[in-house]
Amino acid sequence: MPTSLKWRLPLVLAVVGAAAWYTFPLSTRINLGLDLQGGMHLVLRVDTAAVPAEGRNTDVTAVALEIIRNRIDQFGVREPLIQRQGLDHILVQLPGITDRERALKLIGQTALLTFQLVSDNDRLLQQALDGRLASGFELAEEESGGPLLLDTDEALTGAVLSDAWVEAGELGLPEVSFRLTREGAKAFGRLTGANINRRLAIVLDGKVKSAPVIQSRITDSGRITGRFTREEAHDLAIVLRAGALPAPIAIEEERTVGPTLGRDSIRAGVTATMVGGALIVAFMVGYYWLAGFVAVGALLLNLLLISGGLGYFHATLTLPGIAGMILTLGMAVDANVLIYERIREEMRGGAGRPLSLAIDAGYAKAFSAIVDSNVTTIIAAIFLYWFGTGPIRGFATTLAIGILASMFTAIFVTRVIFDLLLGAGRLTRLPMLQLIGQTTLDFISRRRLCYGLSLAVLAVGMTAFVLRGPARYGIDFTGGLLQEYRLAQPATAEQLRASLAKVGLGDAVIQQFGSPTEWLIRTADHTEAAIAATTARAREAIYADYADASPEMVRLEQVGPAVGAILRQKAWLAIAWSMLGILLYVAVRFRHMDFGAAGVIALIHDVVIAAGTLCLLGRQIDLITVAALLTIAGFSINDTIVIYDRVRENLSLQRKLGLAEIINLSINQTLGRTLLTSLTVILAVVALYGFGGEVLRDFSLCLLVGFVSGVYSTVYIASALVVTWRRLFQPKRA
């Protein structure tokens, strides 16, 4: 057994075993995100300003969180997520919830219950109706519409209740029965005992639910009657048991996905993964033959390691996370391409050298480029996770785990397979195709032409970015309301606009989302009341006019303007910090700031071109496209680092050549692997664009433009900028 195999093989077996342990069974190890299984994502703001001054000594948000948690637990949601965010925000995720309105009412209802005596003084009632309300009273309206004058001095609150439940009342109608606490029973007994034959109003959140006549002293229990459905009575009992919220709750952000859309997203994600994987497998096997089969084996293990990593960290798999998995399939074989092309060079340059030495040299010389290129992508993923939320964090997590897994499989697993084949005497030659031979092109001499071309393209993209104004951003960054409806039959924008105009929504932005049976409706509503009204009116219009087409609202997203501004700020911070992190890493790794600066300028070039293209095509920039832009940044610097790594190597080997000649030589030596590594990732993105569904269409389009731009900038911009930098700022060294 080769010496290297004695420690590599146990390591690989241990990692594979651990990955399998944390992967299976899939149903318990990996959680699906709300965008895959359906459900609700809410960011709630506790209105602490509405709390009376004498009640602000307590942590109002913490109290509200516990009350909301108790309500949701009693509601029966499986594995909800309820977390505090900052001073006055609460994050709530409810997997599998399909009744949006019921869930919102359950969570947001203040549930302030009071028991108040009804005044029988007709003179005071008439004065109140005339606008002269006496002290100690308030005017209310009973369910039948008649006015009531309620006594506020002797009111009892819902704090006197110890339990509440639903029972069948008269005629089988549901009503809520309640039991009193010990102290509550004493207070209730005093109130009812002293006011027999008077009416006692039961008031919930300022509305009179019933006002029965007190017939006897009550000290143990009572009931609340009203026009309840079974579900309303059940939910009222829940909120009464959990207690009243200490302050009003406002919805700052909501993302609701129906189960149908979730199933479609899973189907699209699996299809895109299979197609992308098939394209990569076909290319690797067809181009590298036996070595390609070895890479494919590592690729399958890579998927297992990603699943195991998600299971170990109890991460949630989202639709962008599936996209990240597809991307890592393409990036995983990048490292194999770097190694195989190095092995090819060693076999070509050392005639008669044993194959084992060529393999050793190939792995050794490709190691630094593999590590450097993947670390930069991980830097982008870290900042994306730091500043991202929800599905974007899922993407960042999957991408980071996938990059680490691909490094392990490329460096260790494939090496173990080659060592086993060499040790068994089964591997004596390693044939590969070579479509791109050695070139001698002068790339540096064309730098001024390329600079001009890039500046022109950048100017067009930036102009489109500026001219689109606020329309360039999706509701993630501007706030507003988005509804997605699915019909069984095709419709046109004109038909939908006419339907919405009937209910006063003629100014809504209507956009076809993929097929003519799926449509997005965007409005600029921000307040909770406006959002509720717009949602109800849109549903009313579409369900009435398209009843034969079985309409279904499959997605709803609302973002408040304050949250949108915060998300936009976080997106730009993620991009800025990623650029800075990559700049510092490359500068330190290659010991010169000019390498880092040139590489970052080139990746900014690619990011701006991708964003500008989206604006030119009328697409919008949202959180998921920011994830694409950061992925472009990581990928763009990857290929650049491969060239920089060869430049660093040639600087010590070719001391008689000038910098421009060394860079030209390095680009030509690595041109084949630059094109091949880009091709594998582009194949994965093409599969994502074609089969990943409309939700990921802008994401994959952005990646496609950025990756193509990345190949160009790697060859013509990044390396040429090093020469330009030194001639401008370090003339003596140049």
151 lies in the same domain as 190? yes
Read off the pLDDT of residues 162-220 as tens digits, 9 standing for 90 and up: 888 999 877 788 988 889 898 889 999 999 999 999 999 988 888 888 888 888 888 88
Q: Which of 251, 248, 245, 247 is nearest to 527 (CA)?
A: 251
What percent of the chain has a predicted confidence (pLDDT) above 70?
Answer: 98
Average pLDDT in the chain:
86
**What pLDDT does 734 receive?**
42
**What pLDDT does 609 receive?**
95
CATH number for the domain including 98? 3.30.70.3400
pLDDT exceeds cutoff 60 at 610: yes
Give the helix ranges, DSSP H, for 254-318.
Answer: 259-288, 290-312
175 within a domain of the structure (yes/no): yes
166 lies in the same domain as 102? no
Domain boundary among 200, 217, 244: 244
CATH number for the domain including 163? 3.30.1360.200
149 within a domain of the structure (yes/no): yes
165 lies in the same domain as 291? no
Q: Which of 715, 706, 707, 733 is nearest to 594 (CA)?
A: 733
Kindly report the pTM of this predicted structure.
0.82
Read off the pLDDT of residues 565-594 as tens digits, 9 standing for 90 and up: 888 888 888 888 988 888 888 888 877 788
Q: For residue 352, what are the domain limits?
A: 258-469+564-729
- pLDDT higher at 421 or 436: 421
734 within a domain of the structure (yes/no): no
**What pLDDT does 701 receive?**
94
252 within a domain of the structure (yes/no): no
**Reduced to 3 states, what is the DSSP secondary structure of residue 250?**
strand
Domain boundary among 187, 214, 244: 244
346 lies in the same domain as 413? yes
Domain boundary among 559, 593, 623: 559
Across 66-93, average pLDDT: 86
599 lies in the same domain as 723? yes
Q: Rounded to whole angstroms, how far apart are CA atoms 658 and 512?
A: 56
428 lies in the same domain as 544? no
H helices, E strands: number in the chain: 24, 19
474 within a domain of the structure (yes/no): no
723 lies in the same domain as 607? yes
- Whether 143 and 227 have beta carbons less than 8 Å apart is answered as yes
Q: Rounded to whole angstroms, how far apart are CA atoms 514 and 105?
A: 33
**What pLDDT does 611 receive?**
93
Across 423-432, average pLDDT: 84
pLDDT exceeds cutoff 70 at 350: no
pLDDT exceeds cutoff 90 at 615: yes
Token code pair at residue 175: 């009503």
Across 250-267, average pLDDT: 87
Q: Which of 541, 539, 542 is nearest to 531 (CA)?
A: 539
Least confident of 303-312, 373-382, 385-394, 548-557: 385-394
Q: Which of 234, 255, 251, 217 is nearest to 177 (CA)?
A: 234
194 lies in the same domain as 276? no
CATH number for the domain including 369? 1.20.1640.10
170 lies in the same domain as 309? no
- Whether 311 and 363 have beta carbons less than 8 Å apart is answered as no
Q: Rounded to whole angstroms, how far apart are CA atoms 320 and 627?
A: 9
pLDDT exceeds cutoff 80 at 76: no
> Per the structure, how many domains does the chain have?
4
100 lies in the same domain as 131? no
Q: Which residue(s) pair with 379 in the sheet?
A: none
State the amino acid at position 557 in one-letter form: E
* Phi, then psi, of 388 in degrees rounded to 5: -85, 175
pLDDT exceeds cutoff 80 at 45: yes
602 lies in the same domain as 712? yes
40 lies in the same domain as 117? no
pLDDT exceeds cutoff 80 at 64: yes
Q: Rounded to whole angstroms, how far apart are CA atoms 310 and 318?
A: 11
122 within a domain of the structure (yes/no): yes
Q: Rounded to whole angstroms, how far apart are CA atoms 210 and 177?
A: 13
Across 134-155, average pLDDT: 87
**What pLDDT does 478 receive?**
87
Read off the pLDDT of residues 377-395 as tens digits, 9 standing for 90 and up: 898 889 888 888 777 888 8
